[in-house]
Structure 1
């Protein structure tokens, strides 16, 4: 039996055994744990278990790394953001007795081509939406009330990816990943697969390590260090808008010709 047929058989068993709301909620819960909490924890364990390797591959200087107390506080806030999103979804599905799902639980598993198309669409849509939302959060009138909290950690660690004000967590972390594919009518499995990648990418982007070049953690590490640079996730929108280099917002000095 080929992998697609095996996935189809497993999916058919799941949706015929459990209520749609239960399938949806458990899928979202597992995606959060596997996609973000588990890899973020592994990144943090590198500091403890392999200190020499950690020091060799940290993007920013060791003296700028957050303290243990700061990291513990970060993890608590991060987990709180996960819990309230899950609790909100649990309430929405439980009201209807878990008999209905909000996402597309089609009994037919999408083909590999459909998965790839959904992934490419989600990647582009997330890059565009996140870039503009992120830049808006840097507006002086908004930044101090919402986004400043995320930039408390000038030297990021994996869990700082979701260390954010609840409004920012919803607008910048959750919706750019899930809403475009939801509006497209993508299959729940496509949304789960894409969310798994994006959650891992967020943890890797904020990990502070350079040993993985995809995603390029240096880009977002520089954003936390310098603030007004690299607002996107993959660099496309920053390249288009010229915000991919430090000093893009400074007035250019005019060169004065000196007569000989």
Structure 2
């Protein structure tokens, strides 16, 4: 599922201007390094991108892990030993690599090649344009991510890149960005290219990407509650859990639209009484969990899960 932690810094000229004014110009760079110099901007973007990625991933991930994630899921037979530490380690080693091509796109934005704008008056549709661009952003990126995600599941390349993310059969919020670097970058591309094709207010761009990061973490947080009327429309944690468990279903990011059109929709097993929590309750009732609250290997092999 899409990685978007870098995108919160996408209106990078705003972030770069603030960093230059308060920190970089007075305390870091010599006077001979002009603020609009190519090398200085690239170095600054690399530093800000990696710092922002770490803060967002660890900060939002920790909030979700401690206040939303149900820790009983760690009793599930497919929850790995030291999984949380492994998820964090994998993400934190991948993010700096992903930042390299990402910064190239940020640099293009800073240099004015995108359609990002500063003021509502710059939009031909005014305030209504903000609302329309928000909706189109969600539907455009959802469509692109569906097909990129599905492509990454193709048998000829799956094991090379995307399988690393499917190690986490019962993901925690920290699995949200634990991708192979190429996988993570490819699934982040739709967020970056949208403002090169469509006008978008810079502040709205930042707000959308904060939302994207929260959403990406939320579909890995094990909270399967979805309002009944939205179950068939919104791709929530329950849907994405089945993607991790059964591999070839529910590729979407926000909506179920493209899964339905592409024939890959699966009604979530957690909403049918057949999800991870139900497995744990059954094992507890049968006395198949050890004294540490975890199942042994034999039990793990007997729990339904597709191995790719």
Q: TM-score, normalised by structure 1?
A: 0.69
**Further displaced range: 201-210 or 175-184:** 175-184
Which runs of structure 2 are paired with 1:98-247 in the superposition (5 Å)?
100=111, 103=114, 106-109=117-120, 112-172=127-187, 174-211=188-225, 216-233=236-253, 234-245=255-266
Counterpart of 1:43 in structure 2 is 64
Superposition deviation, residue 157 in structure 1: 1.1
Distance 2:131 2:51 in 1: 21
Residue ranges of structure 2 left out of the alignment (5+ in a row): 1-13, 22-34, 228-233, 268-308
**1:183/1:209 Cα in 2 relative to 1: closer, same or farther (>3 Å)?**
same
1:80 to 77, 93, 99: 93
TM-score, structure 2 normalization = 0.60
RMSD of aligned residue pairs (Cα, Å): 3.6
Cα distance, 1:77 vs. partner? 2.0
Establish whether residue 71 from structure 1 lines up as the match of residue 117 from structure 2: no
CA deviations over 1:177-235 (Å, ceiling 9, x no partner) = 22123321323222212111111111001112224657621000100011011111211
The Cα offsets for residues 9-65 of structure 1, whole Å up to 9 and x where unpaired, read as xx8xx67x846759x959867874675432211122248xx9xx643xx5x963333
Looking at structure 2, the residues matched to 209 and 63 of structure 1 have their Cα atoms a distance apart, in angstroms, of 18
Q: Counterpart in 2 of 1:4?
A: none
Shift of 1:244: 0.6
1:146·1:165 contact (CA, 8 Å) conserved in 2?
yes
Deviation at 1:133, TM superposition (A): 0.8
Distance 1:232 1:38 in 2: 25
Distance 2:84 2:110 in 1: 40
Q: Secondary structure at the match of 2:258?
A: helix
Report Cα offsets for 1:93-125 as digits up to 9, x if no partner. 78x9x9845655644257643332221111111
Change (3 A) 1:178 1:148: same
Alignment gaps of 5+ in structure 1: 1-10, 247-260
Q: 1:190 & 1:29 partners in 2: Cα distance?
A: 22
Number of aligned residue pairs: give it.
221
